[in-house]
Amino acid sequence: MSLLALREVTRTVIPQDQPALTILSGVELTIEPGDHVSIVGRSGSGKSTLLNLLGLLDLPTSGEITFDDRPVKTLSSARRDRLRGAAIGFVFQQFNLLPGRTALENVTMPLLYATGRTFWRRKKIAAEMLELVGLGHRLNSMPDRLSGGEQQRVAIARSLVRGPRLILADEPTGALDLDTGQSVMELIDDVAARTGAAQVVITHDPMIARRARRHFRLDRGVLTPVDDPTLEPLTRRHRRETVPVAVADDDAPIDARADGHA
């Protein structure tokens, strides 16, 4: 049974007083439990739109998305929200930490939506997660007293504190230097391996993409598997032979509700 699957997924929007704009076309992607997938694409290729679909924030215009082999379109908006909060963890380029809260309080936030024993043990669970990412000594530090790498580690701890089955990382090292970025990716890989979570990393950096076991390239809304993500994008000749797909600029940040910390 697959964890998440997209079958012939297309996403089209209709701007005001303009013709319909196809952002994704015929996307096929299956994520298995414990999988590790990278998706490389340039600005405007449709990466953010794809991430919104993978994170159950949006529904496709056509095609089907299933989670645990159940069609997502059969779920109400509220049930999709609950499923996303419980099963999907988001790691963003921007850390999105609450400035007036300590590292511990930031990581505790998602557990305010938990129930039963998890809710009552939320501070202990959050502290254990911060210890896991190497910040057990920084529980009471404010975000502005942390380095960029430390802030990203807090963001990772917050994303993973509910034990998600799927980790979606959107340019997770974009705001970090090379060495710090590599250590952050190693941390995400380690936590995913310990918990058995699947990973989907969306990035423009082919070296980050190579860390995955399966690689895809998103070009003008079309997703294709590649053997090596460092390969050059499609040539102009190949572009002419591909069915044209108009793509909107989708580089705007994902809706904050994906973080689960309104």
Instruction: Identify the structural domains of the chain with CATH numbers, from first to last.
Output: 4-257 (3.40.50.300)
Instruction: Pick the closest to residue 260 from 157, 158, 149, 150 (CA basis).
Output: 158
Q: What is the pLDDT of residues 169-226, one digit of tens each?
A: 988 877 777 887 788 888 888 888 888 899 999 988 888 888 999 999 999 899 999 9
pLDDT confidence of residue 236: 38
Residue 262 clears pLDDT 70, i.e. is over it = no
Interacting residues of 137 by C-beta distance below 8 A, sequence separation 6+: none
- Quick one: 103 exposed, middle or buried, by C-beta within 10 A (0-12, 13-18, 19+)? buried
Write the single-letter amino acid at 229.
P
- CA–CA distance, 183 with 249 (Å, rounded to integer): 30
More confident residue, 166 or 260: 166
Full-model pTM: 0.80
Asked if the model's pLDDT at residue 256 lies above 50, the reply is no
What does the pLDDT read at residue 38?
Answer: 94
In the chain, pLDDT over 70 holds for what percent of residues? 87
How many angstroms separate the Cα of 68 from the Cα of each of 83, 122, 213, 259?
A: 11, 27, 21, 21
More confident call, 55 vs 160 = 55
The runs of H, that is alpha helices, within the chain are 47-54, 77-87, 103-108, 116-120, 122-132, 148-160, 178-195, 206-209, 236-241
> What pLDDT shows up at residue 83?
93
77 has a pLDDT exceeding 50: yes
- Higher-confidence position of 134 and 248: 134
pLDDT tens figures, 105-151: 999 998 888 888 888 999 999 999 899 888 999 999 999 999 988 99
Please, what is the average pLDDT of the chain?
84
Reported confidence tier of residue 243, pLDDT bands at 50, 70, 90? very low
| pLDDT at residue 207, as a whole number | 83
pLDDT at 240 over 60: no
What pLDDT, on the 0 to 100 scale, is given for residue 231?
Answer: 57
